[in-house]
Structure 1
Amino acid sequence: IGKALSSGYISLMLFLNCLFFFFSFLAVCRYALGMQDGTIPDKAITASSSWSDSTEAKHGRLSTADGDGAWCPAGPVYPDNKEYIQVDLQQLHFITLVGTQGRHANGHGNEFTRFYQLRYSRNGRIYNTWKDRWGNEIISGNVNTYDVVLKDLGPPIIARYVRFYPMADRVMSVCLRVELYGCEWTAGLKSYTAPVGHVMNLSGGSVFLNDSTYDGAIGRGLQYGGLGQLVDGVLGLDDFLETKELRVWPGYDYMGWNREEAGMAYVEMEFDFDQLRTFYSMQVHCNNRYQEEVKIFRYAECIFKRDLVTQWEPDEVRLSVAVDMKDPSARTIIMPLQERVGQMIRCKFFFSDNWLLISEISFVSGKWQGSMVSGVNFSRLVVRLSSWHWKHLGDWKGKGDRLELKRNSTAHSAGQVILFSMIGIIFIAFHCSFIQVYCVCPSGMSSMSTAVQNSVPHYAEADIINLQGVTGNNTYAVPAITVDALAGKDIAVGEFPRQRLIFKEKLGEGQFGEVHLCEIANPQDLMSLEFPFNIRKGRPLLVAVKILRSDATKNARNDFLKEVKILSRLKDPNIIGLLGVCVQDTPLCMITEYMERGDLNQFLNQRKLEDKACSTSNITTISYEALISMASQIASGMKYLASLNFVHRDLATRNCLVGENDTIKIADFGMSRNLYAGDYYRIQGRAVLPIRWMAWECILMGKFTTASDVWAFGVTLWEMLMLCKEQPYNSLTDEEVIENAGEFFRDHGKQMYLTRPEICPQGLYELMLHCWCRDFKDRPTFVQIQHFLLEEAMNMV
């Protein structure tokens, strides 16, 4: 019965495919999501700012001329590019096309957007930047005020919120009208977890079988919390080295795992849905190039879970696969799921050979309401159909998409899958509201393909060495508008005679520069030098000197000079200041303060807490009151940086220097010193991150803000109360620290916090816990933190 049904199913699929394409063509194959026709209400369209009431976000609808004809931000977008218009689609949508237009206003408007970025979110909290398959995130926009420019999104976006960020290469006014094209994402799949793909080494070179469009997090060999290549609608070809997109790498359409490298007999994946669903079948598109030891999985086992707090149901569904392993065709294995109910599915796919390659996984399911099913979900089936474009229609082979059933599957189960598939396609063909998925992919557009490595795109970008500037030490992250304002001014310190520098010690080095500890003899003779404090006559002054190497690039030189101008304007008693520069000839140098008692980490590590009951020890002591005073000074310095919208990015005791009378000044030398190499985690040989001090959103998304500095302050305060005798999360490996960040992201109550130091009062520990709140909006400000610490100091008097 199964074979007969399979044969009939394939023939029927071919016929209905043609019928489907025909009706899709008649239905005008570009389905707008409602900006132009008003389906999207005004309240769902918001913006960062607007020039006036007549250019509010609600006027940013494509091909309409309400108000003054478009959305226009309050000011120019150059150079910070932070203005945006956001569309809330109310629920998840599969978006494959966007349109933009300038402000024409019946000939009176003259503003348009030449370039823009897209950022999207499924939950309104985590935003990802869209990138094309080559990693480009800048999209070409309009060249005049009236023409509509359409951009095919390859890869497509699955999101509820979409933001358009207009960009410019100079100061200019811009206006924008937008439209989105796609369909409702009714599949219900919110995210999937899978092992990171492996690299296959062939005689012709390496084949990267990674999830190129994954937009979740990556850690400890897993990708989680996102969607990507396994649900993009693209079915890989028979030869996995060939791809449906031009100019992409071999293996692009598949994820692949090696049994030996995986270290187990199966690949395990987990799928998280929006609500309880009844599952009828799962479709898995696999490759079967047995010559390269690639075969379809031997069998699969799936278990189900009804919600986040209940246990996994022990009764598994075992899915045997009976296929011709010597047939080199890629194919979709359709496996009945016995109408099991759940919100989460965990499946193990057991290797048949050394390699398992999967291009697509989809489900036929219906929303579960008690004992009733509210409707079968065919959206993934439709998306699979949409992956064939008009230009690819002739390439379809029936044998490449054959139906595979378990040998002992019942006629009822097989017939149910086929019946639901038939009803779904016929229903789609005759109802335009269901034709949306294919309609956004008309002839001439690229297929729904994947982009270059976008996994947990923000985690890889939090590369402090690459983002810090030329020396690899300046970790202040300055908003672009502030950079522009300060860098446009003259250097606020004088030229320093470099011959007066006496080099004592090399502190470290970065990509294009070095940092040295130097001494200045008789500093009082240098009238142009701005002294940070009084220096007694005859006493040398210690300074840190950042030097730009002669082989630095032109961009590095420009960044160095920009950094000089910015730092020369920072004036605060708790921030290391810039004393002078050497910029009239090479090498370029900047001279900053260096406190004589060294960094706070070593200062505290060499001390113990003052114990009034024991005074015989030779070890230097420090009082709890002194620790609170130091912490208050750090909070004061950070309050000053926050007032300028500066983000430090690497606040820790190693980056605080100690002077006379326990004066504390915040610096940024810690990362450059080999002494603290163990405090930084190196990713893939290049990115260096202080993950034990970083907020979870910094680790997973590369999002650094004042609120993430507050998180780091909480860790720094913990260090101080431990007298720097222990590294944060000392019992965890670096990989486990990253996994703990994932627990903060998932927010299932499994995240670990630093324990309360022995000398720390409960009230102060609660301040730390507030610094580590998952939601950055719930974290205290540095103004509040300093106020708390000052009150703590007063209560000790």
Structure 2
Amino acid sequence: MLFYLLLVFQANANAQIDPAHCRYPLGMEDGRIKDHDITASSQWYETTGPQYARLNREEGDGAWCPAGLLQPSDTQYLQVDLGQLTFLTVVGTQGRYARNSGKEFARMYRLNYSHDGQLWRTWKNRFGNKTMEANDNAYVSVIKDLHPPIISRYVRLIPVTKMPTTVCMRLELYGCPWHDGLTSYSSPEGQLMMPLGYFLASLNDSTYDGAHERRKLSGGLGQLTDGVIGQDDFRVTRQYHVWPGYDYVGWRNGSLGSGYVEMEFVFDKQRNFTSMKVHSNNMFSRGVKIFSSVSCSFKPRLIANWEAEPVEFRTVLDDRNPSARYVTVPLGRRNAKALRCRFHFADVWMMFSEISFQSADTVIPTQITPVVTSPWPKEESSMPTTHKTVTNPSAKDQPDDGNTPILIGCLVTIILLLVVIIFLILWCQYVCKVLEKAPRRILEEEVTVRLSSSSDTIILQTPPVPPRVSQMDHPYERVFLLDPQYQDPAGLRNKLPELSRSAETSACGGGYAEPDVTQCTPHQCFQSSVPHYAETDIVSLQGVTGSNMYAVPALTVDSLTRKDISVAEFPRHRLLFREKLGEGQFGEVHLCEAEGLPEFLGEGAPLPDRDGRPVLVAVKQLRADATNNARNDFLKEIKIMSRLNDPNIIQLLCVCVSSDPLCMVTEYMDNGDLNMFLSQREMESTLTHANNIPAVSLSDLLHMSVQISSGMRYLASLNFVHRDLATRNCLLDRRLTIKIADFGMSRNLYSSDYYRIQGRAVLPIRWMAWESILLGKFTTASDVWAFGVTLWEIFTLCKEQPYSLLSDEQVIENTGEFFRNQGRQIFLFAPLLCPPSLFELMMRCWDRDIADRPTFEGLYQALRPHVVQ
């Protein structure tokens, strides 16, 4: 059983790789790659040898330089041995700066790679180009994504020039270990789908790097191991400017002369296989289904014969759900270095986008007969079966005393391994908690935060921003972004003067100074107000309940007492649970009925007329296992919320803080959130009335837009930054009154609206401004950007997600285009229901230049005249 648990853990650890998260520096800069693992075809001097080709380092004469002038026909190379098979996704290069004395760099380069150091392949991108652009000076690093990624142990970087010149280079490689161990697969070539009435879909393996002969692929890797998962509709691709069907490799039933597709897989070493995962399309309306069954044979050595008894697995076909999905095939913990699998057709077409294997690369030595017993034993025991070769008929009668110490030693080793694994898991959990408690980075200046009460002004001395931590301190720090400029906010501020103003309190509206220091005219303030940046670490974006608590820049409160909370204590027993709305790491959000709440709050309470029925409220509750930091954050959130008082902002009604668990009670609206409300409606017309479909009018949509701009205008006047403005965070009552809330992030219903950064936080990237994604800066200006996206949602009646045709990674890449501002950025399309003047207002909200975006006051004044009073 211990052995089985060890294999299960190993299988879970080796899950399908994700190129978007596999972006760790592999050790050139921080020295984990040793000098003897870095070689070159030549070097100019001893002090420009390959060991000095480390990104951002200045040892020796500052870089690797091949001997002599590099000619266009030369093939000089820098070679790195990564020590193991690696999934390589990013390459970073620099020239020779040498403390301002160097000026040599490479403008272009090629990549060669090898699994074994003998057979070398040349990388080419998805369009067949083999050359990558590199540097245009000696000091700035250039980060290039590899599309497709490389699976290799040895990498050669070959500088390319068009004229004789001196070249020097520094290098960093990014990726993660390739735990699959797969070195090649062979299969029939993909085919062309030509259905009548539909466009063509080419289902070939376009990035395959092995041999392609007689319609057979052999000896290489390609799209089935590039980490890109195909979509439900195989005609829709995740890549730009490629053909329909690009993400899948597909075959037509009957075209191969059999009812199956045969594939062979070769691995780096003998492994103990637990399962195979095959991502398969199931768009049965186009004659595509997952495979009906699969039969896998095993070969312990490449020169051996295939073992006689295969593993067979029959899938459960689904004719109701057309979604693409992973099919997990158990492999019975069989030992092998090569597999041959036959996938049987269930319909006209079969299409795969990814195949991965879960295995342990340490094989327990056992003697296995040439005929292996079935991997599906009839016994109900979960213990693995041991297969023995009987060499003497009388051996079974002899005591096996000689093997007992070996068995005991194996068991002790396994137990020690489990103890180490448990320790590592606990240590990782501890590290994650430390990251969650990391303090927010705030501006290097004294700032004042003015709340709604003029007598409650908090003045803080903010700590200095700590110096940038080197890669040596955090060798596994991920490269999240796609361009070297994004990694250094200081460099971005030099390129973008408007960012440097974030360290200066604006004298006109948008800063945090007291109003009486304003030294400009109202007209100047309205035109030139640049909202102040609230510098915030991405780690701390999520609130206590998983919601996005309003960000008051630089707000810290050392201690909170009951007198700091301006709302009353409500009897806890009067809150009757209805349903859970959502949950976060340390808290939950519940929909409750509050008995006697109108009488408790008295006249003037912001409650709807319930005709004597209990009032619906949203209750945020802190979990019992919450940390002290989470408890303090919860009390701070109460203090902030208790100061908010606006008709279009959700209001804190009362609290339960006299005993645990701590609770805050806020308004909840009868019609729920705006996203759900609009997605169930159509525009007002004769047809919708005839079909009894709920309808809304253009006037209704404009009225909603004005209310949201009014609520955000109020928050902006207090220098509050919401950070998650969207229709899911706008609640609606029966009179179509909007109230801006903050617990959309905690609801599973909207989990697809958030992009999860591994082990850190979730971000609503489709609503976020470019500077928020690239620099982690959240301001009133970034809220204006989100307001533009919210308007777009409203006038599309929330029928689709923003940038619905782009993956999350493509949305982030598109954000980089906004920064580069070279005219390649993709904007949201104009909704059919939207007046042209209103779409122009949305486009102003998405202005690349922060200072040119309108203020919420300006948005409110522009929208209000369109609403019929």
TM-score normalised by L of structure 1: 0.49
Larger relative contact order (C-alpha < 8 A, sep ≥ 6)? 1
